[in-house]
Amino acid sequence: MNVFSSILEVIGNTPMVKLARLTKELDGEIYAKLEYLNPGFSKKDRPALEIIEEAEDQGLLTPGQTVVELTSGNMGTGLAIVCGIKGYPFVAVMSKGNSVERARMMKALGAEVVLVDQAPGSLKGQVSGEDLQLVEEAAQRITKERGAFRSDQFELTGNRHAHERHTGQEILDQTEGKVDVFVDFAGSGGAFSGIATTLKKSIPEISCYLVEPASAPFYADEEITNASHKIQGGGYLRELSLVDRDLIDDTILISDDEAIHFARELAQKEGIFAGFSSGANVAAAVKLLQTTEKGKTIVLTINDSGLKYLSTDLYE
């Protein structure tokens, strides 16, 4: 029988689609890996599983112990699925600035969700680095109070390993190694570094671009004009310990409007219903095909589902 023993075995091995309609007038190709087709509708299912299994193997997580994590929603959803299957109580700590669909989904999957007030002056739907720091403080407090395991996606190497061992290798297999450029919006940095590491080992000449919000260009080392951008799940104006700067060949900056425009283009022209950061990835790829990477083949990930943003202005 071709039957999986649990939903955890369904994580990964996502399909790759050529964005033929979006690139019809462009010189070059874009290949999109559909990470939103993971069970939790995002690429974060992969590191959620890897982090928990590495902790089990290393004796850092004991049966029945509570797991706590800071999340913008996607990692929390992945952890809610993994912890629910494996029998660990899970507490997701999230800013009130993130979309409500994410909190509702985590609760539906059995997580306890703790919502943290935003910093004074922050806008709902636009989570800044200052907001994230408040969430981090709450996550640390809850971890200590409950004697929990902190599945820290910003620090634990399982995040990077998940993409280095699996996502990156899947991309190589699906494209037969015929890729010139990789672009990725920086969230925790695990996907960028993990995928870039694997791709560069097999394709040393590949160019890897880190995508950042135009108003919050931390890695580009340019002027920060608005820390509270709309591209949820990244652009937090902080050094990401999982990101090896040597893997970054260049940065590319994408505005809120560009991310929104290309998320809508993805939906209408390619039938791919995705979120802000996926729109940012596609915007970056299109911009490169129009300028410095004409004629090249670019690969990217579709990070999460547009269903997680119906309460925002993404699809108004």
**Domains along the chain?**
7-42+158-309 (3.40.50.1100), 45-150 (3.40.50.1100)
Q: What is the pLDDT along the chain (316 residues), one digit of tens a residue?
A: 889 999 999 999 999 999 999 999 999 999 999 999 999 999 999 999 999 999 999 999 999 999 999 998 899 999 999 999 999 999 999 999 888 888 999 999 999 999 999 988 887 777 777 888 999 999 999 999 999 999 999 999 999 999 999 999 999 999 999 999 999 999 999 999 999 999 999 999 999 999 999 999 999 999 999 888 899 888 888 899 999 999 999 999 999 999 999 999 999 999 999 999 999 999 999 999 999 999 999 999 999 999 999 988 999 8
Work out the number of other CB atoms within 10 angstroms of the CB of residue 144.
Answer: 11
The residue type of 304 is D
pLDDT the model gives residue 131: 87
Q: Is 277 a catalytic residue?
A: yes
- DSSP-derived letter for residue 7 is G
Sequence-ordered list of residues with C-beta below 8 angstroms from that of 211, at least 6 positions apart, any chain? 183, 184, 185, 186, 251, 252, 253, 254, 280, 281, 284
Q: Is 128 a catalytic residue?
A: no
Tell me how far apart the alpha carbons of residues 38 and 82 are, in angstroms, rounded to a whole number. 12
pLDDT the model gives residue 132: 84
pLDDT the model gives residue 128: 77
Tell me how far apart the alpha carbons of residues 39 and 167 are, in angstroms, rounded to a whole number. 15
Whose tokens are 């407090």? That residue is 141
pLDDT the model gives residue 83: 98
The residue type of 138 is A
Catalytic residue among 207, 277, 278, 305: 277
pLDDT the model gives residue 147: 97
CB 40 within 8 A of CB 77: yes
CB 244 within 8 A of CB 219: no
pLDDT the model gives residue 228: 83
Catalytic residue among 43, 44, 230, 287: 44
